[in-house]
Amino acid sequence: MEVANTIDSVRELVKAARSAGKKIGFVPTMGALHIGHISLIEAAVKKCDFVIVSIFVNPTQFGPGEDYKKYPRPLEDDLEICRNAGVDVVFAPAQEQMYPSENVTWVNVEKLTEPLCGRSRPGHFRGVTTVCAKLFNIVAPDVVFFGAKDAQQAIVIKRMVEDLNMPLEIVVCPTIRESDGLAVSSRNKYLTEEEKKDATLIYKSLEKCREMIEAGTTDIGTITAEMRTILSQSPAIEVEYVSIVDVEILQSIDHITGKVLAVVAVRIGQTRLIDNIVVDIEQQ
Ligand code: AMP
């Protein structure tokens, strides 16, 4: 496995792989790798001949007062995980490589970035789409792998790729969970044991949502009220949003029809956690 710290070096490595006729898979991450990231790498290894993982804690997607500085950066452990997972190249650029001067060019996906996390994290998605556009230009992959865990992010990126005619395919992989249902996340490292227990209420509220929809409840207000009741079992949980939206355009809906996305964002202490599930009544 090669570790590239510069844009020129990663481009050289990709160029050689492409000349050898290899299909290039790419997994963008912020590091602190866990089984969720590994599942994306495994999907990439399966579908592609040459796999690149980027590890870059992107400053432009963090707002003031967010956890950019304290975000975990266990680079040596991450490299070991990548080596064991069959990654060909890790691209781990310094901030000066990605943003050598003040950034004045931004990629902004409208509408889809307004609700949900866009409301509570202004500028977040602009940072995500901009860094992904840069990474896609640098790596020039055939296929890029994202997690369903960050549902809004995956939808926004897919739309950016479509609208800007980027010549690549986006694959969205399922959310990997702990045995108690908690979605695996680099930010779970911030949680105390007690907070981790509280955090299991997030998936419990989503399971309740699935159960109610499957049992025939169609009124969104009734379902989200029930989800909030579950979350309120822990006084440590501060709800940011509990919502059921259209799975493609993320708009609020009044009644369940077909396929919907149930999304939850909470704060537990200093830690912000998000999770979601898709429920498709037509598949029942
Ligand atoms: P991050 O390092 O948090 O920016 O995440 C990098 C990629 O890993 C994103 O596409 C995430 O959606 C994905 N990811 C994070 N957690 C999980 C998980 N529990 N299951 C599946 N994918 C995940």
Cα–Cα distance, 264 to 252 (Å, whole number):
13
Query: What's the CA-to-centroid distance between 184 and ligand 1, angstroms?
Result: 8
Q: What is the pLDDT of residue 242?
A: 98
CB 26 within 8 A of CB 56: no
CB 186 within 8 A of CB 30: yes
Strand partners, 145: 171
Cα–Cα distance, 59 to 2 (Å, whole number):
25
Per-residue tokens: 254: 């009044």
| Selected catalytic residue, list 34, 37, 124, 255 | 37
Listed by start position, the domains of the chain span: 2-173, 186-276
> E strands within the chain?
2-4, 24-29, 50-55, 89-91, 143-147, 169-173, 237-246, 259-268, 271-280
Using the atom order of ligand 1, give the atom closest to the CA of residue 39. Answer: 21
Q: Which of 29, 161, 170, 271 to mutate to test the pocket of ligand 1 (most atoms within 8 A of CB)?
A: 29
255 is catalytic: no
Q: Do domains 2-173 and 186-276 have the same CATH topology?
A: no
Q: Which of 27, 37, 189 to mutate to test the pocket of ligand 1 (most atoms within 8 A of CB)?
A: 37
Q: What are phi and psi of 50, to 5 degrees?
A: -145, 120
Q: What is the pLDDT of residue 181?
A: 98
Using the atom order of ligand 1, give the atom closest to the CA of residue 150. Answer: 12
Q: What is the pLDDT of residue 34?
A: 98
Per-residue tokens: 27: 């997994």
The predicted model scores a pTM of 0.98
pLDDT tens for each residue of the chain, 284 residues long: 999 999 999 999 999 999 999 999 999 999 999 999 999 999 999 999 999 999 999 999 999 999 999 999 999 999 999 999 999 999 999 999 999 999 999 999 999 999 999 999 999 999 999 999 999 999 999 999 999 999 999 999 999 999 999 999 999 999 999 999 999 999 999 999 999 999 999 999 999 999 999 999 999 999 999 999 999 999 999 999 999 999 999 999 989 988 999 999 999 999 999 999 999 988 66
Fold observed for domain 2-173: Rossmann fold (3.40.50)
186-276 belongs to which homologous superfamily? Pantoate-beta-alanine ligase, C-terminal domain (3.30.1300.10)
Q: What is the pLDDT of residue 282?
A: 80
Sheet of strand 259-268, all strands in order from the earlier edge strand to the far edge: 237-246, 259-268, 271-280
